[in-house]
Chains A and B, each alone.
Chain A
């Protein structure tokens, strides 16, 4: 399946080739997972979003327009689902707070075991600063820094102009840079 591009695989899947769908999953699940995690912060929610997003791809592959860049289409689905989950979690927390409950909120970004082993003060500052960014800045930065997406593709995913993407990333990096400067004292 390595010689087929994403559009080929979608066409093959539409024609009944389930293995083509598997190839699309293999190619893109890691990116989808990391983006969901960047938005949600916690792993459980990100896994749910990953599965739901690919289910949506399976069910709506007929609506995908070739030349629309499959990865951008997939990441828009991931983003929408993650934001819906975030909104649902927020409503749940507000409901719990209204009842005076100590219900746990959405987990902040969880360091992996490897990060615990080699955790540095400055790394944690950047992680915390990133979690505190406005949603749109965090998403733009995650796609740029973690996935190495070009501005044009980030613009497609976030459905904003390219110049807006550049501004979001610049502001995000400035905020993270300030967090490091504050650490310098």
Chain B
């Protein structure tokens, strides 16, 4: 292509650049993302009752895991940041998978040795 044709092509490419997403649709996308990012209903800093509700366990059972929770103290009360709680859950998931894998290997080893 000669220089004139290159310039014309560059100009046309600028003209056919896709138009922006319409404002109404952009707003819909923002709202959907906001629900995800802000955890639709779950506050960023949670009280212990809110943590129990988030974990779907009784508040009384929280005592068993209190030492493990990524909590911090504020004005004499414990609080937990939602992002840290999610990380803590993911850590427990990985630990569980690792243990599940070990249990599977252990079971296979016992079967191999003829142990029921």
Contacts and interface: CB of A to CB of B under 8 A. Distances in A.
A33 B19 CA distance: 9
A123 B21 CA distance: 21
Chain A, interface residues (CB within 8 Å), range: 35 or more
A146 B18 contact: yes
A15 B86 CA distance: 11
| Interface size of B as a range | 20 to 34
B73 interface: no
Interface stretch (A77-85, A86-94, A100-108, A176-184): A176-184
Give the interface SS of chain B, mostly helix, strand, loop or mixed. Answer: helix
Contacts of A132: none
* Chain A interface mostly: helix
Contacts of A180: 5, 8-9, 12
Contacts of A51: 29, 32-33
A14 B83 contact: yes
Interface stretch (B36-44, B47-55, B56-64, B98-106): B36-44
A103 B114 CA distance: 59
A160 B84 CA distance: 36
A115 B37 CA distance: 36
B21 A33 contact: yes
Contacts of A96: none
A54 B17 CA distance: 22
A174 B44 contact: no
A21 interface: yes
Nearest to A130: B16
Given A50-B29, A146-B18, A16 B82 contact: yes
A174 B83 contact: no
A13 B39 CA distance: 13
A173 B1 contact: yes
A54 B9 contact: no
6 contacts: A33-B20, A46-B21, A54-B33, A123-B16, A173-B6, A180-B5
